[in-house]
Amino acid sequence: MRLLNQFHFRFAIVMLLLATMALPLLAQSDISVGAVPYKIPQVRRVGEGSKYYLNDSNELLIRVNIWGRVERPGQYYVPAETDLISLMSLAGGPTSRSRLSNVRVVREEDTGEQDVLTVNVRKYIKTGEKRLIPDLKPEDTVVVHGSGWQLVADVAQVIGQFAIVANVYYLFFIAQR
């Protein structure tokens, strides 16, 4: 009977461990519940070597990238007159721990050199000054960095999961002696 109780105890601990490890994954998927997914349009390039595209409605599009702390980072085909705020909105908006005072737009100039623009989106939100927000150009890459608290939260999550594994190890191999 004691052997059966030890089996149930160990089984419960393993199930607890698995459930705890799965919680961050479940929480991650809940973020985008109800969000409208971005559908990649059918596009065709306007001329060979061009950085512009046409969709089925003959609307002029550009291809841009958005990385970092937005809900849906990735590559998007957007109208040629799209600005930074519109792209961030299309990507689901910034996450709760985005550093909006330091959004970077990396673009390649016609000379072949890369230029990095630093945009203070937080100031735009406070003041509404449209001049603070650049229009995007073909092949721009937008990088939204995480805040310092995001790093602390990530490290705390890893430490917490390590502590769970260490606790299970202790219960299985050390406490049962």
Q: What are the domain boundaries of the chain?
A: 2-30+150-174, 44-146
- d(CA 115, CA 9) in angstroms, rounded, equals 60
Give me the phi and psi of 17, to 5 degrees please. Answer: -60, -50
Higher pLDDT among residues 154 and 144, named by residue? 144
pLDDT-based confidence at residue 34 (cuts at 50, 70, 90): very low
Q: State residue 25's pLDDT score.
A: 47
pLDDT-based confidence at residue 26 (cuts at 50, 70, 90): very low
Kindly report the pTM of this predicted structure: 0.66
The whole-chain average pLDDT of the chain stands at 81
- Distances, alpha carbon 117 to alpha carbons 91, 104, 142, in Å: 19, 6, 9
> What CATH class has 44-146?
alpha beta
Q: Count Cα atoms within 13 angstroms, Cβ side, for 143.
A: 10
Q: Rounded to the nearest 10 degrees, what angle do helices 148-169 and 2-30 cross at? A: 170
Higher pLDDT among residues 93 and 177, named by residue? 93
pLDDT-based confidence at residue 30 (cuts at 50, 70, 90): very low
